[in-house]
A and B are shown apart, each in its own frame.
Chain A
């Protein structure tokens, strides 16, 4: 901590500037995106279009909830395997249920169980074997890819049971789809978990100062394992919802969420260094990212170009994160 950062911190502590609140900031970005889109394509900012955006953002929102928890826990915590775990979850549900409604619950239980085990392995690797989270979870992507290959023979069989598709895609109340309602429940539970439970307090404590957390009687390793298990369970749920939306599984259905889940977390104001942030920001971040994607589609930018833009946005965000990190030291 040098003089300049002390000065910055002293000023940051003053609450006068609402614009420094990341949740407020990303809400403003969201408004700007809708306004811009509406200029290019009238109707972009309509109620129907907004509700449709939420419907798709729900999958990202759910998967990024786990990512938020892992990142909040600090210590370079990150879960690069959430996308692949979600994909695995779609494959498990499709194959175990074989599209039969009566086997859906068994299939869902299997998906949570298998994915939970993968999260457990991530957690043990990070907490007890002290493998850096980046390395551990990136390695896990490879492992899960292999498991999916073997398990599905390269071509997943089965499809989404009709009930699942109805729940995820069905409309209720003001044209809002099932996926959004599920997301809402997940969001409320996650915010409650982080703010009102001992687990949540421990997550923040671990991220804010791991040494002090240890010396406050927190079992650091066990709680680290829990972070990664939680993350994989959220990914599993996201995968299940995605299967209901897509109808059939494939061996890479949810892979794209690997990076954009991190982007959603960062846009939402959770610092990659841990200890600061929360799920509300991430949820807004997920809507921002989905809206941005819609905007690029409206602007007729081809898929390759969209990927480039997505990548650039991530780089910008992560370099901003570098600044935040310096501020903390």
Chain B
């Protein structure tokens, strides 16, 4: 009898079967992967274990005892704590205050509060290297941190409860490699201390690095439970998506980079001396059909450049031209008129209309082109949404369902899909594959390739170094708001990228 046994778990949402007789069994002192394609039921299973979602049927045993988990409090009492895909921090409270919330001290009073604050600071100390410049932003409001840093605070908060079972549901999706390493180290410490960590991620590297065993879900049912040491990547992918897909990187390899050399003389996008509060004197040219990667440590100005080119932040100086025409946008509306699209880095806050249906979420940026005198045709709107849905293989029940009923990866596809419908000339991608599964990643890479074949210029920021290197023709390395180097051709290696990111001279 394993430490955690979940058996016969069923859950439907209306007509959608989220879980169908799912089960999971894992031991103390184990990092257990919970894997599967987007919409396969991973988050639903996690939420049932933590009492957030009520199952239609389930039997849960912890430590040999039948356990009813009806409410989140029940999970707390059983020592289960979780980090979900949707962040749960209070944006206006400071980092410390958010963590202190987790302690739930029963005794009030000044001394207790000070002790809590000290505990919070000590806890965060373990994550210090993951923060920008390695300084802990203890007093900063959580809302002012980057998505990755917020995620780290969230993880720290979950650990503050000293759980026996820690659920990490795509907690690393928006983290850069250096940050992932910090989290991995903490997870290993927990494992050594005898905790069980349930780890969900779409990055195979992390899974092989951290997990001992894994349960793979497919369409809500268990497709297999495996020892990772005895399972190849191909076998694992096959279990998740049902058929072996080409490893994502190969999709884009062997593109004719040479033909770009000629095109580069006539840049599609040209940026000259762009300066904002967070950027200094950025210049670059991107040819039609080129993918320019933006590399570096987390938050060195990559997102800031994308936001500036989209008119979302105040620009202090510099010029931007598209096809030789001045195109410095003062607000996103103008950028869209110039044919620029931005897939933003924070899908919940910047990309989605959470209370609105999938249909509206997909069609709003492009609806003007389909409307006549501001009047929409329902049929045309639906056709457009269906087109985006098919292109990205979005898994949904009805276009009229709320967008938050989608699984995390499918929400991300909506955020990408709504811009494909605008027929852009320049596409700005801020970590576009976060939370989407291996197959969908490969499909998105194909979409990017198709865009470049149509002559679209792409700027790509990614927290995943391998993805950045595989997709980009060139990479600009950022450090503290400046471009410190440009990598192209055979300089496009992981070692060079890491070295330049850290500002260490490569040898």
Chain A residues in the interface with B (C-beta under 8 A):
1-4, 6-7, 9-11, 13-16, 196-199, 201-202, 204-205, 208-209, 211-219, 275-276, 328
Instruction: Looking at the assembled complex, report how far the CB atom of A127 sits from the nearest CB atom of chain B, in whole angstroms.
Output: 13
Per the bound structure, the CA–CA distance linking A13 and B336 in Å amounts to 33
Decide if B352 touches A209 in the complex (CB within 8 Å): yes
> Are B376 and A196 within 8 A (Cβ)?
yes
Say how far B370's CB is from chain A's closest CB, in angstroms: 9
Does B333 sit at the interface, judged by CB under 8 A?
Answer: yes
The stretch of B216-224, B353-361, B387-395 in contact with A is: B353-361
List the B side residues contacting A10 at CB < 8 Å.
Answer: 13, 47, 52-53
Pairwise interchain contact B355-A16, C-beta atoms closer than 8 A: no
Report Cα–Cα, A15/B53, bound state, in Å.
Answer: 16
- Choose one: A2, A13, A197, A204; the contact of B360 (CB below 8 Å): A204
Task: Please name all residues of chain A whose beta carbon is closer than 8 Å to the beta carbon of B360 when the two chains form the complex.
Answer: 201, 204-205
Q: Residues of B at under 8 Å CB distance from A?
A: 13-14, 47, 50-54, 71-72, 84, 86-88, 310, 312, 331-333, 335-337, 342, 344, 349-356, 360, 363-365, 367-368, 371, 374-376, 378, 401-402, 404-405, 418
A6 with B86, Cβ < 8 A, contacts A208-B354, A209-B354, A275-B353 known: yes
Complex interface: chain B residues within 8 A of A218 (CB): 333, 364
For B52, B332, B355, B360, the residue with the greatest tally of chain A CB atoms inside 10 Å of its CB is: B355
The answer to whether A197 and B333 touch (CB under 8 A), given A6-B86, A328-B355, is no
When the two chains form their complex, are residues B375 and A215 in contact, meaning their CB atoms are under 8 A apart? Answer: no
When distances are taken between beta carbons in the complex, the residues of chain A under 8 Å from B364 are 201-202, 205, 213, 216, 218
Which residues from chain B contact A1 at a C-beta distance below 8 Å?
A: 86-88
Q: How far is the CA of A198 from the CA of B356 in the complex (A)?
A: 15
Q: How far is the CB of A2 from chain B (nearest CB, A)?
A: 6
Q: Is the CB of A212 within 8 A of B351?
A: yes
Known: A4-B72, A198-B371. 7 other contacts (CB 8 A): A3-B72, A7-B54, A7-B72, A14-B14, A197-B374, A215-B342, A216-B332
| B402: A residues at CB distance < 8 A | 13
Contacts A1-B86, A204-B360, A217-B335 given: A13-B352 contact, CB under 8 Å?
no
**CB < 8 Å: which of A6, A15, A202, A214 contacts B84?**
A6
- Is A7's CB under 8 angstroms from B52's CB? yes
Taking CB atoms, residues of chain B closer than 8 Å to A3 are 50-52, 72, 88
Min Cβ gap A75→B in Å is: 14
Most chain A CB neighbours (cut-off 10 Å) among B71, B337, B367: B367
Given contacts A3-B50, A201-B360, contact A213 B353 (CB under 8 A): yes
Distance in angstroms from B76 CB to nearest chain A CB is 9
Chain B residues lying within 8 Å of A198, measured Cβ to Cβ, are 367-368, 371, 374-376
Give the residue name and chain of the B residue nearest to A200 (CB): B376
In the complex, chain A residues whose CB is within 8 Å of the CB of B53:
6-7, 10
Q: B78 to chain A: closest CB distance in Å?
A: 14
- Closest A-chain residue to B405, C-beta based? A13
Interface contact B356-A208, CB-CB below 8 Å: yes
Q: Taking the nearest CB of chain B, how far is it from the CB of A42, in angstroms? A: 44
Q: Is the Cβ of B332 less than 8 Å from the Cβ of A2?
A: no
In Å, the complex CA distance between A6 and B52 comes to: 6
27 A–B pairs (Cβ distance < 8 Å), ordered by A: A2-B72, A4-B72, A6-B52, A6-B53, A6-B84, A7-B51, A10-B47, A13-B13, A13-B405, A16-B14, A197-B371, A197-B376, A199-B374, A201-B376, A204-B356, A205-B356, A205-B360, A209-B353, A212-B350, A213-B364, A214-B331, A215-B310, A215-B332, A215-B342, A218-B333, A275-B355, A275-B356
Give Cα distance in the complex from A219 to B376, angstroms. 18
- Chain B, Cβ-Cβ closest to A273: B355
Q: Given A214-B312, A215-B310 in contact, is the A276-B368 Cβ separation under 8 Å?
A: no
- What residues on B are CB-neighbors of A6 within 8 Å? 47, 52-53, 84, 86, 88
Q: How far is the CB of B349 from chain A (nearest CB, A)?
A: 6
Complex CA distance for A56 and B401, rounded to whole angstroms: 37
Chain B: CB-nearest residue to A6: B52
Report chain A residues within 8 Å CB of B376. 196-198, 201
- B336–A2 CB distance below 8 A: no
Q: Which residue of A lies closest to B343 (CB)?
A: A215
Nearest Cβ distance between residue A83 and chain B, in whole angstroms? 29
Complex contact B333–A219 (CB within 8 A)? yes
The smallest beta-carbon distance between A220 and chain B, in angstroms, is 8
Bound complex: CA A208 to CA B353 (Å): 5
Closest CB-CB distance, B411 to chain A, in whole Å? Answer: 12
A328–B337 alpha-carbon span in the complex (Å): 32
Task: List 5 tightest A-B contacts by C-beta distance, closest first.
Answer: A217-B336, A3-B72, A208-B353, A216-B365, A219-B333
The answer for the CA separation of A217 and B376 in the assembled complex, in Å, is 17
How close is A218's CB to chain B, nearest CB, in angstroms?
7
Give the contacting residue for B349; candidates A7, A205, A211, A275; CB below 8 A. Answer: A211
The answer for the CA separation of A276 and B87 in the assembled complex, in Å, is 22
Q: Which residues of A contact B353 (CB under 8 A)?
A: 204-205, 208-209, 212-213, 275
What residues on B are CB-neighbors of A2 within 8 Å? Answer: 72, 88
**B352 in contact with A212 (CB, 8 Å):** yes
Q: Which of A3, A9, A16 has the most CB of B within 10 A?
A: A3
